[in-house]
Amino acid sequence: MSKISCFLALVLFPAWVFAQVVTVQSARTLPLGSVVTVRGLVTSGAELGKIRYLQDGTAGIAAYPGKGSAAGFEGAVMPGDSIEVTGTLVDYQGLLEISPISSYMVVASGLAMPAPKILTLSDISDGYESQLVGFQCVAFAAGGGVFTGSGAYSVSDGGGETAKVFLRANHPLIGEDIPGTPVFLTAILTDFNGIQLLPRTTDDFSESLCFYFVDQPEQSDIAESGFTVSWETNQGAVSTIRYGTTPALGMEVSVAGTATGNSLALTGLQPGSIYWVQVKSLYNGAVLWSETRPFATRSTSSGQIKVYFNHTVDAAFANGFTPEGQSSAAVVAETIARINAAQQTLDVAMYNNNRTDITNALKAAVSRGVRVRYVASLDASNTALQTAPTFPVLFGNTEALMHDKFMVADADLSDQAWVMSGSLNWTNQNINTDFNNTLFIQDQSLARAYVLEFEEMWGGQDVLPNEQYSHFGSNKRDNTPHHFIVGGRVLDSWFSPSDRTTDHIVETVYTAESEALFATFSFTKDEIGDALVDIYANHTDVRGMIENVSDSGVEIGYLTSVGIDCRPHAITGDLHHKYGVFDVNASDPVVLTGSHNWSFSAETANDENTLVIHDYRLASLFKAEFEKRWQENSVATFSATQREIQLTPNPVEDQLNLQTTTAFVEQVVVRDMLGRVVFSRTVDGASGTVSIGVTSLSPGQYVAFIQTLYEVRAIPFQKI
């Protein structure tokens, strides 16, 4: 066929080409924006809203009657219908949908539901998106309670894997009892804002007789030569522990007797090392394998912890202790000193960086033979990395922020292994003006745990990153040790969003008996607010400061309404800390710090790190920092619009004005109500007024995502 004939065929017969029915699997491989026609059996109804999920013998897909769709879809299409649907492929918050729906036809009705694809929770992936799936022996964390409202409910299986069951607003299960015993769970798997399981009715919870772990293996009695492993099964079982220095394990020891609750001390291990542990239990012919978990032995390192603040503290509250540094110059000098002292390796995960002095120190380390690897945020300003440095850099986290601020030096050298953590980014603003903390910890066990986290983002152990195996955000797993003894101190380490960090912050809050102090850039997590209210009701003194009081859902109003003294930070320079300090002058003083804001994004999507350290000296120093900021803040005048970002006019016809004062806007992205990017502009740190032309946009509803120096603000607007 000639080129002209081929062109005429495409012009004359596009409807015929696109009207051909393809398998759902074939449709899923086509580019976004393609018009497809598929046939499938509908597996959901109004309990999940207007959306309908359908599947054929190859795969599943969602169909959503958005703007421009053929009328009546959600009223005409019911579970058990075989339908033919034509529409456009779109990605909405991670979920592949057919929307708008240009035409549909009910081919047959009243058909039986397909059998769910039987999986374990560890099998869950977006390869099963929009399909009906089933799980044996799944237990709800809130079993025995009631589905009190919309949101996520945690479930786990006998292998220790967890997942989220999600109920939308007005779901028919709201108000129903949560199963108190393990069930066979049937649900539709969706990848909307992360993988979720969507049950439809109480029929999706059926009886399941099973043998399962009540408690997965946990670690205690941490020593240089070993530790104790404890676990519990629901039936008395014969158990074996498999363990080794890699996830392949390799060593095995039997546990004497038959019991539900078990513990065994593993001895003869190497100090400063990570061991993976798995329990195999047998009951009445059934074999149960626990989750394979990494645990760390105690190291022979010094355990020294150096504390740096980039502003002065109030020595009157420090109980005679002094931080190693109280200035921006001091923290930069120590950072460069640690880089200069590295002998073998440096791994850096840093949100943003405009400091050529620190970057040049890393380059110098490369020149003397140190292996340097660097992970930066994809969506942050990193001017110090714009000219390709002499070390490899991986920019990551396409769904949110790579928000870590840590560095690991010489993890394989006991007396040289250091971890840098805290709230400080490597930028002039964060170092010189904002309020931050940085810790330098000399401990090999902790360093090796941080390297594990780094290499999960890096995609392996090699010098260069492997993006095929690189995982950021919600794709990461809880696969690092959490409990350490560092210089005699109890220390816990958590990474987000894989490790349920908010739960551990809440647990830490509940340990407070006399005093709880907090200073955080963003605070929107209700669970932490509830915990603070609870301990306040039990006569614990609670005080706190928040920088971003204009965040949607900020907790300041809730806390102050019950009498807690919580104040907006009102002086020049952002309160960029993310710390809590508890019971300084009681029996168990605790500091919690790191990169994790007390926010939804930090918990569910960002890459973050958090340390919980039980130590009188550290708690005293953080209290001294808090009291200095509290005193400064008490005499300041707060402007309610200080950090406010506005879009005017709204509704808008042709010119949209973004107005701000100190938010340092970096990028503006506009999405339509299907989640499609319709406008994107780099603003390069501007403040004041930014004008955005919107004459090319069709009338309708949109959301502007405004990337500032530290956060993403979403503001809806209407184009008329």
Q: What are the residues whose beta carbons fall under 8 Å from the beta carbon of 23, sequence distance 6 or more?
A: 38, 56, 57, 58, 59
Alpha helices in 369-500 (DSSP H): 428, 444-458
pLDDT digits (tens, 9 = 90+) for 572-582: 999 999 999 99
218-296 to CATH, choices 3.40.190.10, 2.60.40.10, 3.40.190.290, 2.40.160.20:
2.60.40.10
- Other CB atoms within a 10 A radius of the CB of residue 372 amount to 22
Asked whether the CA dihedral 31, 37, 39, 40 is positive or negative, the reply is positive
**Parallel, antiparallel, or unpaired for β 345-350 and 371-377?**
parallel
pLDDT digits (tens, 9 = 90+) for 583-614: 999 999 999 999 999 998 999 889 999 999 99
Assigned CATH for 117-207: 2.40.50
Is residue 351 within 8 A of residue 405, CB to CB? The reply is: yes
pLDDT band at 16 (very low <50, low <70, confident <90, very high): very low
Burial label for 13, CB within 10 Å (0-12, 13-18, 19+), is exposed
Three-state secondary-structure class, residue 651: coil
Which pLDDT does position 265 carry in this prediction?
96
Q: Do domains 117-207 and 307-472 have the same CATH topology?
A: no
Q: Does domain 489-634 have CATH number 2.60.120.10?
A: no
Alpha helices in 462-539 (DSSP H): 501-510, 526-537
pLDDT digits (tens, 9 = 90+) for 281-301: 998 887 888 889 999 999 999
Spatial CA neighbour of 634 closest among 565, 556, 687: 565
One-letter amino acid at 198 equals L
Query: Does the pLDDT value for residue 685 go beyond 60?
Result: no
Count of alpha carbons within 13 angstroms of residue 323, beta-carbon side: 30
Spatial CA neighbour of 593 closest among 371, 336, 390, 421: 421
Residue position matching structure tokens 């990461």:
476
Three-state secondary-structure class, residue 43: coil
Query: Domain coordinates of the chain in residue numbers?
Result: 14-108, 117-207, 218-296, 307-472, 489-634, 646-719
646-719 to CATH, choices 2.60.40.3080, 3.40.50.150, 3.40.50.11740, 1.20.1270.30:
2.60.40.3080
Q: Which letter, b or e, does each residue of 224-240 get, where b requires 16 or more Cβ atoms within 10 Å of its Cβ? A: bebbbbbbbbbbebebe
Distance (Å, whole) CA 720 – CA 362: 52
Summary mean pLDDT of the chain:
90
Spatial CA neighbour of 488 closest among 219, 218, 223, 220: 223
Domain 307-472 class in CATH: alpha beta
pLDDT higher for 388 or 7?
Answer: 388
Mean pLDDT over 177-203 rounds to 92
Q: Which fold has domain 14-108?
A: OB fold (Dihydrolipoamide Acetyltransferase, E2P) (2.40.50)
Q: Which range has the worst mean pLDDT, 179-183, 396-400, 468-472, 645-649? A: 645-649
Q: What is the value of pTM for the model shown?
A: 0.68
Tell me: cis bond preceding 172? Omega within 30 of 0 counts. Answer: no
pLDDT band at 679 (very low <50, low <70, confident <90, very high): confident
Q: What are the residues whose beta carbons fall under 8 Å from the beta carbon of 587, sequence distance 6 or more?
A: none
Task: Locate 384 and state its tokens.
Answer: 């110090």
